[in-house]
Amino acid sequence: MTEAIRVLIIDDDFRVAGLHREIVDERPGFVAIEPVRAAADAALAIRRESPDLLLADVYLPDGDGIDLVRAADVDAFVLSAATDAATIRRAFRAGALDFLVKPFPRRSLTDRLDRYARFRNLIGGDGPLEQDDLDRALSILHGARDSGSLSRSATEALILERLGLEEASASELAERAGISRATAQRYLAALAARGVIEVRLRYGTTGRPEHRYVAAG
């Protein structure tokens, strides 16, 4: 079972902190750590609780939330009533993954939490990442549509071009397109799910049948 994403809420308004905690705890796969109201308490909680994500206000009674994000080395969203461009730029330079201007609709935070979970799932391993993997993770985090909802991604177009009218395996297409077999399989699966290509099975003398792909129609 995947461990829950632990979220530390840092806000000096206990009512706002309680609302954000409620939103976090309602999301599947997330759990809220006891919120804190000051920078010093946040620094202590980060050391003790090892959160995965911070939801940090900018204006704290004993410090600056953006400075805290910069020093924490933890994924963070900055949630603040500040709307000046300088503060927002400073938050992103400090490493914030997102910035929500208070007050914001409940859906704004739930959507970002869900996208963060997907982003974390894509880049959470220890193995190397291909550029396609990184691009997809960032598009999810920033709210862009997944490649499956676009008319056709550049990689999909390349795969379809290399496929042409001939039947081919994922390995053959990967070699033709200059991408990894895993990347080719992922895009082929998406194309097949949308009916753009068809999957055929070729049975050999032993072992599992080989999946072969051909343009639909």
The CATH number for 94's domain is 3.40.50.2300
Q: Is the pLDDT of residue 2 over 70?
A: no
88 and 179 in a common domain: no
Q: Are residues 94 and 35 in the same domain?
A: yes
**Predicted pLDDT at 207:** 66
pLDDT for the residue 156: 81
Does residue 26 fall inside a structural domain? yes
Task: Return the closest-CA partner of residue 182 out of 215, 144, 146, 155.
Answer: 155
Q: What is the DSSP string of 129-154?
A: --HHHHHHHHHHHTTPPPGGGSS--H
Q: Which CATH number characterizes residue 175's domain?
A: 1.10.10.10
Total structural domains within the chain? 2
Which domain range does residue 207 map to? 147-215
Distance, in Å, from the CA atom of 186 to the CA atom of 57, rounded to the nearest integer, reads 39
Q: Could you tell me if 93 and 153 lie in one domain?
A: no
Q: Which two tokens stand for residue 34?
A: 């006891």
Are 71 and 153 in the same domain?
A: no
Structural domain contains residue 86: yes
Q: Which of 104, 139, 163 is the last residue of a domain?
A: 104
Please give the Cα distance from 197 to 217 (Å, whole number): 8
Q: Is residue 161 part of a domain?
A: yes
pLDDT tens, position by position, 11-44: 999 999 999 999 999 999 999 999 999 999 999 9
| Contact between 125 and 119 (Cβ < 8 Å) | no
Rounded (5°) CA angle 113-41-71: 65
Do 100 and 159 lie in a common domain? no
CB 5 within 8 A of CB 29: yes
Give domain status of residue 124, yes or no.
Answer: no
Q: Is residue 34 part of a domain?
A: yes
Q: Would you say residue 44 lies in a domain?
A: yes
If one compares 148 and 172, the residue with the highest pLDDT of the two is: 172
**99 and 155 in a common domain:** no
Please give the model's pTM, rounded to 2 decimal places. Answer: 0.67
Q: Which residues of 167-194 are buried (b: 16+ CB within 10 A; e: fewer)?
A: ebbbebbbebbebeeebbbbbbbbbeee
Residue 150 has pLDDT above 60, yes or no: no
Q: Decide: 169 and 181 in contact? Cβ < 8 Å.
A: no
Residue 117 placed within a domain: no
Q: Is residue 137 part of a domain?
A: no
Instruction: Give the Cα separation of 98 and 68 in Å (integer).
Output: 15
